[in-house]
Amino acid sequence: MRSLHMISMGVNSLILVVFILLIGLFIFGMTLLRLGLATISRESFKTRLTHYTDTPWKGLLVGILITCILQSSSAVMVITLGLISTGMLSFTQSIGIILGTNIGTTITTELITFDIQGFLIPLMILSIVCLLVRKKNIQSIGLILLGVSFVFTAMGGFEYLARPLGEFAFMTPLLLSLNDSYLLSILAGTILTGIIQSSTATTGIIMGFLTNGAMDIETGVAIILGSNIGTCVDVFLASIGGGREAKLTAYAHIWLNVIGVIVFYPFIGWLANVGKTLAQSPDLQLAHTSVLFNVICSLIVLPFAKSFGNMILKIHDKKGI
């Protein structure tokens, strides 16, 4: 009996280690994908960001475009803070960019729902071939393909491990408590995203649980709302030492995401039901819900971007931020 217990503990430990490694693989894949895309578009990136953000609408569109290119809203926000610190962008211009990044990051969420598991090995082989070519653009394509293959490999792993993870002794009450409380689910999404520094990775993990029936869609939606708040952590840290306007931008990012979650908190069930009508598979339901939430939030705030910026100035500028 004791030996069986030890074997069970060993298996559980192995599952947990593999799960953590899959998170690392997912984030590493996203990093490679972002690096490859950024290398291809490096010449035009800063020009677009600095010259086409003079109005909130333009900032929104640029924010969407650049986030789609870099596949990371946090990366775009960190770069934006850097440009603000050097005087190339102003705090006012950043409002539209923030709104755009929130929409742009949902494109990644949609992409990871694609079923390309059967093409992963050919993708990896092709990526290695591209990386061996000495032309920079071909190598960038290799990074993109390798990143994509790592991301989808991790996604397959999340889905495979969701059921055994859900059977852990501590996971059963945890999942039950999350299913019973939107507030705890939002908190869990905030903490998890704050730790792993990727809302997309959080979404990938939750999709695995949803696909295997370990979690209901309403809980998944609440966790995704929390992940929007969790993305504020690295942006806030990046603003430290960046000057007055960089800090104002970080505060605006926090306020926008927190207010959006508060406003939609009573409508989590509605969002989940809309997701169910738009798709049959739980992962697609979650992806579509994420798009809906971020698009609605951004479009509601956009006409009032200037007033919102003034509110941030009144709240934080008086305190000397």
Chain centroid to Cα 257, Å, comes to 13
pLDDT of residue 135: 85
pLDDT of residue 265: 93
Q: How far is CA 106 from CA 9, 57, 132, 302, in A?
A: 38, 18, 32, 18
Q: Identify whether 106 is part of a domain.
A: yes
Residue 313's CB is within 10 A of a number of other CB atoms, namely 16
Mean pLDDT value across residues 250-264: 92
pLDDT of residue 163: 64
Percent of all residues in the chain with a pLDDT value above 90, rounded to a whole number: 15
Average pLDDT of the chain? 80
Residue 45's CB is within 10 A of a number of other CB atoms, namely 18
Reply yes or no on whether the pLDDT at 263 is more than 90.
Answer: yes
Domain residues for the domain of 131 are 9-317
Q: Please state the domain count of the chain.
A: 1
Helices (H), the chain: 2-51, 56-70, 73-85, 91-111, 120-132, 136-166, 171-180, 182-196, 199-211, 217-230, 232-239, 244-264, 268-278, 282-301, 305-312
Q: Identify whether 3 is part of a domain.
A: no
* Phi-psi category of residue 279: left, alpha or beta, with phi > 0 → left and psi -120 to 50 → alpha: beta
Give 34 or 90, the one with higher predicted confidence: 90
Q: Identify whether 4 is part of a domain.
A: no
Reply yes or no on whether the pLDDT at 249 is more than 50.
Answer: yes
Chain centroid to Cα 261, Å, comes to 15
Q: Identify whether 200 is part of a domain.
A: yes
Q: Identify whether 2 is part of a domain.
A: no
Q: What's the CA gap between 126 and 120, in Å, rounded?
A: 10
Q: Are 253 and 227 in contact (CB under 8 A)?
A: no
Read off the pLDDT of residues 149-176 as tens digits, 9 standing for 90 and up.
887 787 677 767 766 765 565 555 666 6
Read off the pLDDT of residues 295-317 as tens digits, 9 standing for 90 and up.
999 999 888 888 888 898 888 86
pLDDT of residue 271: 92
Reply yes or no on whether the pLDDT at 217 is more than 70.
Answer: yes
Q: Identify whether 20 is part of a domain.
A: yes
Q: How confident is the model at residue 321 (pLDDT cuts 50, 70, 90)?
A: very low
Question: If DSSP codes are grouped into helix, strand and coil, which group holds residue 321?
Answer: coil
Q: How confident is the model at residue 194 (pLDDT cuts 50, 70, 90)?
A: confident
**31-35, 118-122, 276-280: least confidently modelled range:** 31-35
Q: Identify whether 227 is part of a domain.
A: yes
Reply yes or no on whether the pLDDT at 258 is more than 90.
Answer: yes
Give 282 or 45, the one with higher predicted confidence: 282
Q: How confident is the model at residue 320 (pLDDT cuts 50, 70, 90)?
A: very low
Give 91 or 118, the one with higher predicted confidence: 91
Mean pLDDT value across residues 191-206: 80
Q: Identify whether 299 is part of a domain.
A: yes
pLDDT of residue 122: 85
Reply yes or no on whether the pLDDT at 178 is more than 80.
Answer: no
Reply yes or no on whether the pLDDT at 86 is more than 60.
Answer: yes
Q: Are 61 and 24 in contact (CB under 8 A)?
A: no
Read off the pLDDT of residues 56-71 as tens digits, 9 standing for 90 and up.
888 888 888 878 776 6
Read off the pLDDT of residues 2-58 as tens digits, 9 standing for 90 and up.
565 555 566 667 777 887 888 788 778 777 876 776 666 555 555 656 667 777 888
Mean pLDDT value across residues 75-100: 79
